[in-house]
Amino acid sequence: MSDLLRTPDRRVCERCGRVERYDGGVWRADRLGEVYCIHEWDIDGTFVPIESESAAAAEKC
């Protein structure tokens, strides 16, 4: 049994509202924010990057 590494697929800047999606190995902007913003991404601890293989199988059912 092995664990799966998940990656986020979307992120939003809490300061300027920039929205990006992860597509083909790169982040692409869906909505632009401020040019000179030092982005503060919405990382709040709810995203779990490591998922057990049994939990992933249970989601598919």
pLDDT score recorded for residue 20 = 94
**Digit-coded pLDDT (tens) for 3-42:** 787 778 899 999 999 999 998 889 999 999 998 999 998 8
> How far, in Å, CA of 51 to CA of 23, rounded?
21
Q: Are 13 and 40 in contact (CB under 8 A)?
A: yes
Q: Is the dihedral of CA 12, 6, 56, 21 positive or negative?
A: positive
Contacts of 38 (CB under 8 A, 6+ apart): 15
pLDDT score recorded for residue 15 = 95
